[in-house]
A and B are shown apart, each in its own frame.
Chain A
Amino acid sequence: EDKVVQSPLSLVVHEGDTVTLNCSYEVTNFRSLLWYKQEKKAPTFLFMLTSSGIEKKSGRLSSILDKKELFSILNITATQTGDSAIYLCAATSGTYKYIFGTGTRLKVLA
């Protein structure tokens, strides 16, 4: 059965800290790994990763995929209170399937 596991489940840090969120997957016919940020509404897209070892960056956020070890990490540097959210990762399988993890709840304290 396909599965995606995220860790930690929740995390509390102070502004300015750096955090690393983990996502491991066991998915047949794997195609890509996606990261989303969810505040009090719908998930918003952050990154899509398809190739191993190539880092994607957007401001203070970055992410990388390891297709050999079947995991991805999402790094957030110099965290701000606005980074407080649930971070979801999802693996795609085949041409229409997305498998989501349960998410990591991040709280950044001022």
Chain B
Amino acid sequence: NAGVTQTPKFRVLKTGQSMTLLCAQDMNHEYMYWYRQDPGMGLRLIHYSVGEGTTAKGEVPDGYNVSRLKKQNFLLGLESAAPSQTSVYFCASSYSPRGQGALTEQYFGPGTRLTVT
């Protein structure tokens, strides 16, 4: 049981390049999230998904796109990277136990450190 995994762990991009970050979870969780974390800013939500085939914008979605074609995978894309997207990116998953109307804690991946020069 690997939990939540992210690839790659590190990446350096030049301005204007594109890339995709992959998040995978093996816990059959419905909900998946992409966050970025910058010094002094806490975790800021980029996009999230409440189920396979559905995605929605979070707090800071500009410059990013996502897809959730399979329940276990959540992809984050940067079409044209900018230095402002230098950050640590975390993926997380969770679920809402049936009938309880509340969320579990989030399970986080190990993070991807992205530098855009």
Interface residues of A (CB under 8 A from B): 9, 31-32, 34, 36, 41-45, 48, 50, 88, 90, 92, 95-96, 98, 100-103
Cβ A42 vs Cβ B109 within 8 A = yes
Known: A88-B42, A102-B42. A96 touches B103 (CB 8 A): yes
- For residue B107, which residues in chain A have a CB less than 8 angstroms away from its CB? 45
B33 interface residue per 8 A CB criterion: yes
Cβ A103 vs Cβ B42 within 8 A = yes
A42's partner among B50, B101, B104, B110 (CB-CB below 8 A) is B110
A96's partner among B31, B35, B108, B111 (CB-CB below 8 A) is B31
- For residue A44, which residues in chain B have a CB less than 8 angstroms away from its CB? 108
| Residue of B40, B42, B107, B111 with most partner-chain A CB within 10 A | B42
Compute how far the CA of A66 lies from the CA of B111 in the bound complex, rounded to whole angstroms: 32
B12 interface residue per 8 A CB criterion: no
| Residue of A42, A45, A48 with most partner-chain B CB within 10 A | A42
Cβ B40 vs Cβ A102 within 8 A = yes
Known: A41-B111, A96-B31, A96-B48. A102 touches B103 (CB 8 A): no
Supplied contacts A31-B101, A88-B42, 9 more A-B pairs, CB within 8 Å: A31-B103, A34-B106, A41-B111, A42-B111, A92-B103, A95-B103, A96-B31, A96-B48, A98-B103
B60 interface residue per 8 A CB criterion: no
Nearest CB of A to B60, in Å:
12
Compute how far the CA of A92 lies from the CA of B33 in the bound complex, rounded to whole angstroms: 14
Give me 7 A-to-B residue pairs in the complex whose CB atoms sit less than 8 angstroms apart, sorted by A's number: A34-B106, A36-B105, A42-B108, A92-B103, A95-B103, A96-B48, A96-B96
Nearest CB of B to A31, in Å:
5
Cβ B102 vs Cβ A32 within 8 A = yes
Compute how far the CA of A26 lies from the CA of B100 in the bound complex, rounded to whole angstroms: 22
Cβ B101 vs Cβ A98 within 8 A = no
- For residue B105, which residues in chain A have a CB less than 8 angstroms away from its CB? 34, 36, 45, 48
B27 interface residue per 8 A CB criterion: no
- For residue B50, which residues in chain A have a CB less than 8 angstroms away from its CB? 96
